[in-house]
Chain A
Amino acid sequence: MKILLIEDDLDLGNGVRIALADQGFDVIWVRRKEDALHQLHVCVPELVLLDLGLPDGDGMSLMACLRQQHNGIPVIILTARGTLQDRLSGLDAGADDYLVKPFVLAELLARVRALARRSYGFQNEAIELRGLSLYVPTRRVTVNARHIELTASEYALLETLMLRTDRVLTRSFLEERIFGAKENMSNALDVHMGNLRRKIGDSYVRTVRGVGYVIDTVPIQKGAG
């Protein structure tokens, strides 16, 4: 998978390039806005990592350029400015995700994979986790190759969680995703979650009490140690 990295800092750029290359990504690294615009045409990346603080021209204007000419390419913004306002303006400009420096490699990889999956992976790839498989195009769910019949709400719940593994999704986020903005009973989410767990087994979805739910890629052993 081709990633265009636009980062002016030598050490950071090089580090990210090597780290991503080690994970099997094909990284093109440029340090200036003109080169970035050139590379966008020449090699057509599948994902762009953009540093907002470029020396020759604001990263935000490059973002606008990207959105005008290459609408489909997902963009992750890297920035040293981390206030809510900065974040919102970055997302408003059309970025798909936002990472504040200094970031952890695992976080960068998770974001890159999630975006890649969202825009390209659905057609050919199943999301697979400890025997639980989810085929997005056909909405088919299997546990240890056994087909599971889910209602629309249950499927939506599972898909939402599976596409964002390791992130705790708050109750309000899930409710809005699954039931939409319409009024709903306060415990409807718990009812659906109870049904889902009964069907796929207890071991996948972890509850964070009072906060929400998460599917961990690596299960957490409670009380161990």
Chain B
Amino acid sequence: MRNVWRHMRTPTFVRRIMVAQMLLLTLLWCLFLTYVLWEDLRSPPILTGSKTYETIFTVVKSMEDHPQERTQVLSALSKAVRENYGGGEDPELSISLIVRKNKEIIYASDGAPAGVINSRYGKIERVESDGRTWTSRTLKSGNADTEVTLITPAGGWNFFIYLNSRGYYVMPLLVCIPFLLFPAWLSIRIAMRPWHKVVNEVSLRTPDDLSPLKAVPKHSELRQMVDAINGFLARVRESTERERVFIADAAHELRTPLAAMRINVEALQSYVSSDRQKELLAGIIRSNSRAARLVNQLLLMMHSEARIDTVMEPLQLTTLIQERMAGLAPLAAERRIELEFYAEEEIWVTGVRERLMSLIDNVIENAVKYSPGGGRVEVELRSLNQSTQLRVSDAGPGIPVELRERVFDRFFRDPNQMQSGSGLGLAIVKAVAQQHNSSVSLSTSAEGGLMVSVNFPNHKSA
């Protein structure tokens, strides 16, 4: 019950439109009704018509010789007219009848304002009498001796009595409203369908996808909104692109001074003799390598996130991994780590060469870096039913289960990890994998270290 109430309280567009529609409809109806009734009141049809008058003339004329019966008939007639008018027997609320013959009143309804006398025949006039306003009309008979006057009260508040007696005008509206509600609701729902399409597309967006909305509706109102969203997306895209270019430029600019620093220190190394000096220089070189690596990783990150649509092409993944491993062999040799690659055959994937290169480099470099000296890093590529799996396992310390999600965040590092690193490696791996509709998962390797698995979707050969 409470839920229903809450649901009712949340504003919805459909309801808003419906309420507006209903209110407007009722208002228009009321205005129209008021106009019609007001007009009726000002010149009541019973006064403007001549049939009532003629009936009375006929009665007066044919019953001239029986005044008693005439009065009875006129009295009955007056009652009938009053009933029809709907104001009851009170002359202040209802119609009254006065019949004169040769200027003498021969009949007047109960309580009829006897002072009301029209100055002109045949015209509806407003007459003041007994401190009230009346609307009246008097007609003369053909032989001009009988005058019949019909009088209705003309006070403003009489309108409401009149309205009360004309209830049948309001009824249709009350009866109609429920029947109007459903079609209105349905038609609004149907009309809003294109809206839902746009909502769907927006809600399915990933935060990385800043490309313009593809569903451009034909409807001008909705198109305005989609255009506005697209404009906004374009501005966001532009600003992130600017930011990316800035970071990439900064990283580029850092490369030359880093290179200069490195080469100078390395040249200096051959001139120093004491171990202490050598140790200090080695420290500079290590820091320099770290900075250089960070700059490289930043550039890779910026590249792997770049929105510029790069062409996905079929690639020989096995050969690519071989090449990258050959490139990383010196690093492994330096740490006396044995690199091994197991692949049965050439496996093709669809992807962007350069980005896949950075994915492979990062996964294997990580494994090499965290392996103990003299350890083994196993790279395995195999074809599964649905996908192609790349697995890189090391014998390093691994990553605790509770941190396995977080290590994919930028600059996040295992707090217990002593190895220096940029904290960007796995973030790059994840970004690249996502672009290739692939998934990355971390688990424990057979040797107790970390195993990184990347699942590529199978290449669909044309």
Whether the pair A225, B373 counts as a contact (CB closer than 8 A) is yes
Q: Mark A2-24, 1 if CB is under 8 A from B, else 0.
A: 00000001011011101100100
Report B310 CB to chain A, min CB distance, Å: 10
Do A104 and B266 touch across chains, with their CB atoms under 8 A apart?
Answer: yes
Q: Are B262 and A104 in contact (CB under 8 A)?
A: yes
Inter-chain CA distance A123–B357, complex, in Å, is 38
Known: A210-B343, A224-B374. 15 other contacts (CB 8 A): A9-B256, A12-B263, A82-B299, A84-B353, A85-B354, A102-B295, A103-B262, A103-B263, A105-B262, A105-B267, A167-B330, A172-B319, A209-B340, A210-B322, A210-B340
Q: Which of A83, A84, A211, A225 contacts B339 (CB 8 A)?
A: A211
Query: Is B409's beta carbon under 8 Å from chain A?
Result: no
Task: Please tell me if the beta carbons of A224 and B336 are within 8 angstroms of each other in the complex.
Answer: yes
The residues of B that contact A138 with a CB separation of less than 8 Å are none
Within 8 A of A (CB), among B228-282: 252-253, 255-264, 266-267, 270
Q: Is A220 an interface residue (CB 8 A)?
A: yes
Known contacts: A9-B256, A210-B343. The answer to whether A172 contacts B262 by CB under 8 A is no
| CB neighbours of A167 from chain B (8 A) | 326, 329-330
Judge if A64 is at the interface, Cβ distance under 8 Å: no
A-B contact pairs, 20 of them (CB 8 A): A9-B256, A11-B264, A14-B264, A22-B267, A78-B259, A80-B256, A83-B303, A84-B353, A102-B256, A108-B263, A168-B330, A170-B319, A170-B323, A173-B323, A208-B329, A209-B340, A210-B343, A216-B333, A220-B336, A223-B336
Choose among B252, B261, B336 the residue that contacts A80 (Cβ–Cβ < 8 A).
Answer: B252
Question: How many residues of chain B get a CB closer than 8 Å to chain A's CBs?
Answer: 43
Q: Count chain B CB atoms within 10 A of each CB in A80, A81, A214 and give the residue with the most.
A: A80
Residues of B within 8 A of A104 (CB): 262, 266
- Contact in complex: A221, B336 (CB < 8 Å): yes
Is A41 in contact with chain B by the CB < 8 A criterion? no
> Smallest Cβ distance from A79 to chain B, in angstroms?
9
Does B338 make an interface contact (CB < 8 A)? yes
Residue in A12, A84, A221 whose beta carbon sits within 8 Å of that of B256 in the complex: A12
B38 at the interface (CB under 8 A from A): no
| Residues B357 and A208 in contact, CB atoms below 8 Å apart | no
A172 to B346: give the CA distance in the assembly, Å.
Answer: 11
Contacts of A225 in B (CB 8 A): 336, 373-374
Q: Which residue of B lies closest to A223 (CB)?
A: B374
Question: Are B322 and A12 in touch, CB under 8 angstroms?
Answer: no
CB-based nearest B residue for A171: B322
In the complex, the answer to whether B255 meets A211 with C-beta atoms within 8 Å is: no
Asked if B348 lies at the interface with its beta carbon under 8 angstroms from chain A, I say no
Residues on the A chain within 8 Å of B260, using CB: 9, 11-12, 15
Contacts of B342 in A (CB 8 A): 209-210
* A101 interface contact, C-beta 8 A: yes
Select from chain B the residue with minimum beta-carbon distance to A107: B330
Chain A nearest Cβ from B15, distance in angstroms: 56
Given contacts A84-B354, A220-B336, whether A212 and B263 have CB atoms under 8 Å apart is: no
Q: How far is the CA of A16 from the CA of B259 in the complex (A)?
A: 10
Give chain A interface residues in 68-123, CB to chain B under 8 Å.
78, 80-85, 100-105, 108
Q: Is A26 an interface residue (CB 8 A)?
A: no
Q: Which range holds the interface residue count of chain A?
A: 35 or more
If over half of B's interface residues share one DSSP class (helix, strand or loop), that class is named, otherwise mixed; here it is helix
Please list the residues of chain B having a beta carbon within 8 angstroms of any beta carbon in chain A.
252-253, 255-264, 266-267, 270, 288, 292, 295-296, 299, 303, 319, 322-323, 325-327, 329-330, 333, 336, 338-343, 353-354, 357, 373-374, 379
A220–B333 CB distance below 8 A: yes
Q: Which residues of B contact A100 (CB under 8 A)?
A: 255
* Cα separation A169 to B336 with both chains bound (whole Å): 18
Q: Give chain A nearest CB distance to B381 CB in angstroms.
A: 9
Minimum CB distance partner of A213 in chain B: B326
Q: Confirm or deny: A222 has a beta carbon within 8 angstroms of a beta carbon on chain B.
A: yes
Say yes or no: A101 contacts B374, CB within 8 Å. no
**Chain A nearest CB: distance from B262 CB in Å?**
5
Rounded to whole Å, the gap between the CB of A59 and the closest CB of chain B is: 13
Residues of chain A lying within 8 A (CB to CB) of residue B253: 80
Q: How far is the CB of B255 from chain A (nearest CB, A)?
A: 4
- Asked if A222 and B256 make an inter-chain contact with CB atoms under 8 angstroms apart, the answer reads no
**Residues of A139-198 contacting chain B, CB below 8 A:** 166-173
- Nearest 10 A-B pairs (CB), nearest first? A210-B341, A102-B259, A15-B263, A12-B260, A11-B260, A168-B329, A168-B326, A19-B267, A101-B259, A105-B266
The residue on A at minimum CB distance from B345 is A186
CB contact under 8 A between A11 and B266, given known A208-B326, A210-B342: no
Q: Chain A residues near B255 (CB, 8 Å)?
A: 80, 100-102
Chain A nearest CB, measured from B193 CB (Å): 46
Q: How far is the CA of A208 from the CA of B376 in the complex (A)?
A: 11
Rounded to whole Å, the gap between the CB of B258 and the closest CB of chain A is 4
Q: Are A81 and B252 in contact (CB under 8 A)?
A: yes
Binary flags per residue of A29-70, CB closer than 8 Å to B gives 1, else 0: 000000000000000000000000100000000000000000
How long is the Cα–Cα vector from A136 to B303 in the complex, in angstroms?
43
Return chain B residues, CB-CB under 8 Å to A105. Answer: 262-263, 266-267
Q: Tell me the complex Cα distance, A133–B126, Å.
A: 136
The CA of A209 and the CA of B332, in the complex, are separated in Å by: 13
Identity of the chain B residue whose Cβ is nearest the Cβ of A10 in the assembled complex: B260
